[in-house]
Chain A
Amino acid sequence: MSSFSFARSLRRALLIACALGALVFFSLALAAGEPHRFDDPSLAGRYQALTEELRCPKCENQNLASSNAPIAADMRDRISEWLNQGRSDEQIRQALVDRFGEYVLYKPRIESRTWLLWGLPGLAVLLGLVILGLLIIRARRERVSELDERERARLAELLEKHAPEALDEDDRQEPRS
Chain B
Amino acid sequence: MRSRLLLFIPLILFVALAVFLWHGIGRDPAARTSALLSTPFPSFTLEDLDDPAVLHDQSLLDGQVSLVNVWGEWCPTCKQEMPQLLDLAERGVRIIGVDYKDTRDNAHAFLEQFGDPFTFNVFDPDGSLGFDLGVYGAPESFIVDANGVIRYHHTGYITPADVDRVIMPTIESLGP
Contact = CB atoms under 8 A, between A and B. Distances in A.
Contact of A60 (B30, B33, B135, B137): B30
B34 interface: yes
A70 B39 CA distance: 25
A101 B135 CA distance: 11
Contacts of A70: 101, 127
Interface in A56-108: 57-58, 60, 69-71, 74-75, 78, 97-103
A40 to B, nearest CB: 25
A50 to B, nearest CB: 16
Nearest to A71: B136
B35 A100 contact: yes
Interface residues of B, number: 17
A128 to B, nearest CB: 13
B137 A97 contact: no
Interface of A is mostly: helix
B160 interface: no
B132 A71 contact: no
Contact of B131 (A58, A74, A102, A103): A74
A101 B35 contact: yes
A103 B36 CA distance: 13
A100 B134 contact: yes
Contact of A98 (B29, B35, B136): B35
B134 A99 contact: yes
Given A60-B30, A99-B131, A99-B132, A71 B137 contact: yes
Contacts of A57: 134, 136
Nearest to A116: B20
A98 B35 CA distance: 6
A52 to B, nearest CB: 19
Nearest to A98: B35
B131 A60 contact: no
Contact of A99 (B30, B36, B137): B36
B158 interface: no
Contacts of B35: 97-102
A98 B133 CA distance: 9
7 contacts: A70-B127, A71-B135, A75-B131, A99-B35, A99-B133, A100-B136, A101-B32
Given A60-B30, A101-B33, 19 more contacts: A57-B136, A58-B136, A58-B137, A60-B29, A69-B136, A71-B135, A71-B136, A75-B131, A78-B131, A97-B35, A98-B35, A98-B39, A99-B35, A100-B35, A100-B134, A100-B136, A101-B35, A102-B35, A103-B32
Interface of A: 57-58, 60, 69-71, 74-75, 78, 97-103
The list of the 9 closest CB pairs from A to B, nearest first, reads A101-B35, A99-B134, A71-B136, A57-B136, A58-B136, A100-B134, A103-B32, A74-B131, A101-B32
